[in-house]
């Protein structure tokens, strides 16, 4: 009960700190710089870490199980710090409704994007064919995180 009261006070304090104070607290809690982020995201990460410290993190057994599940998923990206292209899985269909019309793009076995009877090398090229202007294709089709 006492630890929950203290945790509540710490969380409340996080919600009233400036960006500089949050960066400093992040450094203390995680041991590395938070990088380029927003105040909201930084607060959420710090609060999660405070709760993790108070209540305990994911158990080793649960972490092993989660890793085993992720290892079986070919689309799981567990390589932090490395830029990796999104997998082009043949047969994947991307759908976008733009200006009231539905557009569908599928991925060919050769890794090209098929739209309206044409094969395109990138989603950006497809988005340009649809809109007539330059777009980030991943952003246009909602696959950019």
User: pLDDT of 49-77, one tens digit each?
Assistant: 999 888 888 888 998 898 888 888 777 76
Q: Give this prediction's pTM.
A: 0.46
Q: Quote the CA–CA distance of 136 and 132 in Å, as a whole number.
A: 13
Q: Quote the CA–CA distance of 131 and 47 in Å, as a whole number.
A: 42
The percent of residues in the chain predicted with pLDDT above 70, rounded, is 88
Distance set, CA 80 to CA 76, 77, 84 (Å) = 11, 8, 9
Give the H/E segment covering residue 139.
Answer: helix 137-140
């Amino acid at each position: 009960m006492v630890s929950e009261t203290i945790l509540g006070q710490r969380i409340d304090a996080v919600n009233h700190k400036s960006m500089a104070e949050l960066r400093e607290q992040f450094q203390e809690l995680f041991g590395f710089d938070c990088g380029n982020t927003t105040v909201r995201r930084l607060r959420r990460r710090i609060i999660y870490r405070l709760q993790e410290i108070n209540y305990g993190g994911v158990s080793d057994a649960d972490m092993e199980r989660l890793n085993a599940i992720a290892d079986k998923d070919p689309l799981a990206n567990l390589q932090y710090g490395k830029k990796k292209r999104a997998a082009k899985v043949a047969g994947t269909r991307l759908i976008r409704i733009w200006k009231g019309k539905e557009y569908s793009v599928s991925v060919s076995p050769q890794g090209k994007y098929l739209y309206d009877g044409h094969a395109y090398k990138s989603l950006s090229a497809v988005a340009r064919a649809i809109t007539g202007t330059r777009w980030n294709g991943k952003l246009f089709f909602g696959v950019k995180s």
